[in-house]
């Protein structure tokens, strides 16, 4: 090989090697950072003052047979929020029923029990379990059973958030936040603010948050196991959205993962309250959650739905103890005072009026109906119906129906035979259900106010129908005290339509809400 | 000594000098070739095998029956040496961090011990479970390196990982090391 060839060969090899050098560095590239620099460990946001929501329907239930006391609030009128809230409370009670072996039926408590004080007690959901169980305003009798307490935690724009916590003497302790959008009617538990993949994503974020305090090199995280999913699911169901755009998620003690255990980090022994900034949460929220976050940050005033007359509120009398107050023989000059007392307590009643009086009290009847009470048939001239011919019976019923329709614009659907007297002929002719009573106030017997009061307050049982007359002054004088006494025993004061779950009976003789209705 | 004897002696000495010079030349050549083989040539060959990952890429290393797989992020450079078939070297896109990953036939504790011995004194190792479910034992080696062994807990095989960067850079690049560790798959 000549010298020239050798030089050329070496040059070619050198050129080839230089051409094969490593790719040029990408100076614009930046190394990744540890994930989860965004989560924070925070504290639970303060609850709102319950007194600011006194216009919302408030409830309190105590059942000493099963061992339960519950407080909650609802929204005016039919609302899916109310359905959701009562479903949750029923589930807590069902768990107690299963544990106690005692079947649940609505129960009233003895007079003087103080159950007129209803709704949330501010801050009660943040108290210790033992404190809640021991407080007679919150806990079950003898601290044995379950206490369901509530707080309003979000009220902004159309959104209301109620935290419901159930504490049981067998050491179970469950909390859930229920949100309502009063504009759309939508209601959902807080876990529904989060998209499906949020649970795993936030679990991963929390693991990384905890292990960043170590020399761990871990980046990704295994999906949580069943216990981990349950813990995270429970945490998401308690999410509170704050005005600064943070979603606060309280993770109960016991949080762990294989990654943390391998680092010697034991399961958490206390609640870990995590703050998820809106920026991070944005991709993990459902449309409902995203809208709530938007509204919360905007900080608008809560806009409750318009109030609804008590008599038009749906009431489940298989869940809460109901009593139906009925007033016969009116209307009279005493009726407005009775209506006033009912309105003060957001309570409803049924008025069995006579056709004779209906004709001269049109405005009063309109007011009665407008305030959500029922106006029903008590015959035209208050005769003893079994003594009349079928034609006279029919006239008494039909003339009164016509008078009610003319005066109030709505037809009567049930009737009450004067003196409680009826016969097969009466029932056949009336073609309506006859509503009697199981509690008689004896107000017509010129008894003292105390007798009226004690009979009307002490005798009713859940489902009772109480006979009174809005033409007797003792009834008018005691009306407010009677209502307070019944509320004090835990009753919800309803009209007959509410007592029968929105469906008035169409035939037969009714003295009270049948057991097992 | 006769004249002919002296002449013969000179001849022998001359041959010995030539042999010595030739032997020295061969020895020097061998040393140069050796140096080339162990330094310049491998790096040249590594450079010649360098590939920039356009997207997340999985590469395998080690026994074809039970290989270690490495998930290489986009922009990272993968380099192979045919002289070190059980090793792949991945380099961060900015070339600051170099991570050498080798498949071993030892369990991770043994592999870590071997790698530690080769690296000299290191800090106390930390063992943890990764998101992949694999166990990793790792420790810093000096200011500019981190050694790790990754494997299935109680598994017979493992991968050793040696990450290197300038002392002032290594801390900042640990998440990138974690990302590579996360993308390892080691057969049991």
Q: Which residues of chain A lie closer than 8 angstroms to B129, CB-CB?
A: 218, 222, 258-259, 261-262
CB atoms within 10 A of CB B186: 25
pLDDT band, residue B48 (cuts 50/70/90) = low
Interface mutation vs chain A, best among B49, B76, B131, B174, most A CBs within 10 Å: B131
Say yes or no: B50 contacts chain A, CB-CB below 8 A. yes
Facing residues of A209 across strands?
A: none
Q: Residues B176, B187: contact at Cβ < 8 Å? A: no
Give the DSSP per-residue string, A352-394: EE-HHHHHT-HHHHHHHHHTT-EEEE--SS---GGGS-HHHHH
Cβ within 8 Å, pair B126-A263? yes
Cα Rg, chain B, nearest whole Å:
24
Q: Which residues contact A280 (CB under 8 A, 6 or more apart)?
A: A38, A39, A205
3-state secondary structure of A225: coil
Q: What is the pLDDT of residues A219-236, one digit of tens each?
A: 999 999 999 999 999 999
Nearest CA in chain B to A17: B44
* Residue reference for tokens 């330094």: B39
Cβ within 8 Å, pair A31-B172? yes
How far, in Å, are A203, A214, A242, A277, A511 from residue A36 at the CA level?
11, 14, 20, 11, 65
Residue A115 tokens read as 């159950």
For chain A, the straight-line distance linking the first and the last C-alpha, in angstroms and rounded, comes to 114
ω into A331 cis (within 30 of 0): yes
Q: Which residues of chain B lie closer than 8 angstroms to A212, CB-CB?
A: none
User: Distance (Å) from the C-alpha of residue B45 to the closest C-alpha of chain A?
Assistant: 8
Cβ within 8 Å, pair B182-A20? no
Q: Which residues of chain B lie closer than 8 angstroms to A217, CB-CB?
A: 128, 136, 138, 148, 174, 177-178, 181
> What is the model's pLDDT at position B154?
85
- Residue B122 predicted with pLDDT over 80: no
pLDDT band, residue A6 (cuts 50/70/90) = very low
Catalytic pick among A291, A328, A329, A443: A328
Given A20, A26, A259, which is nearest B44 (Cβ)?
Answer: A20
Q: Which residues of chain B lie closer than 8 angstroms to A34, CB-CB?
A: 175, 178
> What is the model's pLDDT at position B8?
63
> What is the model's pLDDT at position B4?
54
Q: What is the pLDDT of residues A43-82, one digit of tens each?
A: 999 999 999 999 999 999 999 999 999 999 999 998 899 9
Interface mutation vs chain A, best among B43, B52, B130, B170, most A CBs within 10 Å: B130
Q: What DSSP state is assigned to residue A23?
A: P
A203 a catalytic residue: no
Say yes or no: B93 contacts chain A, CB-CB below 8 A. yes
Cβ within 8 Å, pair A218-B128? yes
> What is the model's pLDDT at position B63?
75
Q: What is the pLDDT of residues A148-199, one digit of tens each?
A: 999 999 999 999 999 999 999 999 999 999 999 999 999 999 999 999 999 9
Cβ within 8 Å, pair A31-B148? no
Q: What is the pLDDT of residues A124-149, one digit of tens each?
A: 999 999 999 999 999 999 999 999 99
A328 a catalytic residue: yes
- Residue A451 predicted with pLDDT over 70: yes
Q: What is the pLDDT of residues A195-215, one digit of tens each?
A: 999 999 999 999 999 999 899
Q: What is the pLDDT of residues B72-121, one digit of tens each?
A: 999 999 998 666 668 999 999 999 999 999 999 899 999 999 988 887 75
Q: Which residues of chain A lie closer than 8 angstroms to B132, CB-CB?
A: 220
ipTM over 0.85: no
């Amino acid at each position: 090989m000549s010298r020239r060839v050798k030089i050329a060969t070496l040059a070619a090899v050198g050129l080839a090697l230089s051409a094969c050098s490593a790719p040029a560095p990408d100076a614009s590239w930046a190394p990744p950072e540890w994930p989860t620099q965004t989560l924070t460990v925070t504290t639970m946001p303060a609850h709102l003052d319950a007194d600011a929501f006194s216009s919302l329907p408030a409830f309190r239930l105590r059942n000493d047979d099963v061992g339960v006391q519950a407080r909650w609030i609802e929204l005016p009128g039919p609302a899916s929020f109310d359905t959701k809230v009562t479903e949750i409370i029923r589930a807590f009670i069902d768990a107690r029923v299963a544990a106690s072996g005692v079947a649940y039926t609505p129960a009233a408590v003895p007079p003087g029990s103080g159950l007129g004080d209803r709704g949330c007690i501010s801050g009660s959901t943040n108290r210790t379990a033992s404190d809640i169980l021991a407080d007679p305003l919150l806990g079950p009798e003898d601290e044995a059973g379950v206490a369901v307490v509530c707080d309003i935690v979000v009220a902004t724009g159309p959104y209301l958030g109620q935290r419901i916590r159930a504490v049981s003497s067998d050491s179970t302790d469950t909390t859930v936040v229920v949100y309502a959008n009063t504009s759309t009617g939508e209601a959902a538990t807080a876990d529904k603010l989060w998209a499906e993949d949020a649970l795993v994503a936030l679990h991963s974020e929390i693991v990384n948050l905890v292990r960043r305090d170590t020399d761990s090199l871990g980046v990704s995280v295994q999906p949580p196991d069943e216990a981990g999913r349950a813990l995270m699911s429970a945490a998401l169901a308690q999410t509170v959205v704050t005005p600064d755009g943070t979603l606060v998620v309280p993770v109960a003690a016991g949080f762990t993962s294989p990654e943390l255990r391998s680092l010697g980090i034991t399961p958490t022994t206390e609640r870990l309250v995590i703050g998820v900034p809106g920026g991070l949460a944005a991709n993990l929220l459902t449309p409902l959650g995203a809208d709530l976050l938007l509204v919360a940050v905007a900080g608008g005033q809560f806009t409750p739905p318009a109030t609804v007359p008590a008599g038009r509120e749906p009431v489940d009398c298989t869940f809460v103890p109901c009593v139906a107050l009925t007033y016969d023989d009116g209307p009279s000059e005493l009726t407005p005072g009775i209506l006033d007392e009912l309105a003060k307590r957001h309570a409803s009643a049924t008025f069995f009026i006579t056709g004779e009086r209906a004709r001269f009290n049109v405005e009063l009847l309109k007011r009665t109906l407008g305030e959500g009470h029922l106006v029903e048939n008590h015959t035209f001239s208050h005769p003893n119906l079994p003594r009349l011919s079928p034609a006279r019976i029919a006239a008494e019923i039909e003339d009164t129906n016509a008078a009610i329709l003319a005066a109030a614009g709505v037809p009567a659907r049930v009737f009450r035979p004067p003196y409680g007297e009826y016969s097969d002929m009466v029932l056949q002719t009336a073609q309506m259900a006859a509503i009697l009573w199981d509690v008689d106030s004896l107000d017509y017997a010129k008894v003292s106010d105390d007798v009226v009061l004690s009979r009307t307050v002490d005798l009713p049982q859940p489902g009772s129908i109480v006979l009174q007359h809005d033409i007797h002054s003792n009834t008018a004088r005691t009306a407010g005290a009677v209502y307070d006494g019944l509320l004090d025993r835990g009753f919800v004061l309803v009209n007959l339509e509410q007592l029968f779950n929105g469906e008035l009976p169409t035939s037969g003789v009714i003295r009270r809400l049948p057991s097992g209705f | 000594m006769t004249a002919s004897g002296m002449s013969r002696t000179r001849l022998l000495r001359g041959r010995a000098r030539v042999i010595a010079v030739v032997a020295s030349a061969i020895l020097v050549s061998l040393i140069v070739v050796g140096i080339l083989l162990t330094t310049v040539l491998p790096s040249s060959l590594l450079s010649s095998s360098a590939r920039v990952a356009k997207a997340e890429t999985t590469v395998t290393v080690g026994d074809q029956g039970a290989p270690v797989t490495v998930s290489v992020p986009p922009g990272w450079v993968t380099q192979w040496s045919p002289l070190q078939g059980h090793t792949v070297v991945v380099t961060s896109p900015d070339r600051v961090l170099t991570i050498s990953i080798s498949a071993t036939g030892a369990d991770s504790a043994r592999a870590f011990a071997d790698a530690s011995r080769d690296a000299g004194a290191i800090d106390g190792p930390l063992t943890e479970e990764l998101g992949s479910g694999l166990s990793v034992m790792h420790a810093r080696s000096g200011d500019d390196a981190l050694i790790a062994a990754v494997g299935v807990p109680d598994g017979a095989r493992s991968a050793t990982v040696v990450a290197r960067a300038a002392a002032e850079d290594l801390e900042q690049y640990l998440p990138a090391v974690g990302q590579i560790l996360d993308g390892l798959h080691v057969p049991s």
